[in-house]
Amino acid sequence: MADVRNWQLGRTMSYPYPESHPDRQFAFVFNINRCIACQTCSMACKSTWTFSKGQESMWWNNVETKPYGGYPRHWDVKVLELLDEANSKAGVEPSWQPTAAADRESPYGSYDGMTIFEAAAAETPPVRQAVGYQPAQDEWSAPNIFEDVPHPGRPAPGSLGLEQDGAQLPEHVAWFFYLQRLCNHCTYPACLAACPRKAIYKRPEDGIVLIDQARCRGYRKCVEACPYKKSMYRPTTRVSEKCVACYPRIEGHDPLSDGMPMETRCMSACPGKIRLQGLVALDADGSWADDPQNPIVFMVRHEKVALPLYPQFGTEPNGFYIPPRWAPRDYLVQMFGPGVDEALARYRAPSRELLAVLQLFRATQKIIFRFEIEEGPKVFETEIDGKPWSMYDDTVIGFDQQGREAVRVRVEEPIYQRPAPRVNSI
Phi/psi at 382 (nearest 5 deg)? Answer: -155, -170
Nearest approach, Cβ of residue 116 and ligand SF4 (Å): 9
CB 151 within 8 A of CB 174: yes
Nearer to ligand SF4, 203 or 302 (CB): 203
Nearer to ligand SF4, 326 or 392 (CB): 326
Nearest approach, Cβ of residue 383 and ligand SF4 (Å): 31
Nearer to ligand SF4, 242 or 346 (CB): 242
CB 276 within 8 A of CB 267: yes
Nearer to ligand SF4, 2 or 379 (CB): 2
Nearest approach, Cβ of residue 180 and ligand SF4 (Å): 4
Binding site for ligand SF4 (CB under 6 A): 35-41, 63, 180, 183-186, 189-191, 209, 226, 228, 230-231, 242, 269-272, 274-275, 315
Nearest approach, Cβ of residue 189 and ligand SF4 (Å): 4
- 3-state SS string over the chain? CEEEEECCCCEEEEECCCCCCCCEEEEEEEEHHHCCCCCHHHHHHHHHHCCCCCCCCCCCCEEEEECCCCCCCCHHHHHHHHHHHHHHHCCCCCCEECCCCCCCCCCCCEECCCCHHHHHHCCCCCCCCCCCCCCCHHHHCCCCCCCCCCECCCCCCCCCCHHHCCCCCCCCCCECEEEEECCCCCCCCHHHHHCCCCCEEECCCCCCEEECCCCCCCCCHHHHHCCCCCEEEECCCCEEEECCCCHHHHCCCCHHHCCCCECCHHHHCCCCCCEEEEEEEECCCCCECCCCCCHHHHHHHHCCCCEECCHHHCCCCCEEEECCCCCCHHHHHHHHCCCHHHHHHHHHCCCHHHHHHHHHCCCCCECCCEEEEECCCEEEEEEECCEEEEEECCEEEEECCCCCEEEEEECCCCCCCCCHHHCCCC
> What is the rounded distance in angstroms from the CA atom of residue 352 to the CA atom of residue 373?
10
First-residue to last-residue Cα distance in the chain? 67
Nearer to ligand SF4, 38 or 92 (CB): 38
Nearer to ligand SF4, 37 or 409 (CB): 37
Nearer to ligand SF4, 270 or 343 (CB): 270
Nearer to ligand SF4, 120 or 392 (CB): 120
Nearest approach, Cβ of residue 402 and ligand SF4 (Å): 28
Nearest approach, Cβ of residue 153 and ligand SF4 (Å): 24
Nearest approach, Cβ of residue 32 and ligand SF4 (Å): 9
Nearer to ligand SF4, 274 or 357 (CB): 274
Nearest approach, Cβ of residue 128 and ligand SF4 (Å): 14
Residue nearest to ligand SF4 (CB): 272
Nearest approach, Cβ of residue 163 and ligand SF4 (Å): 33
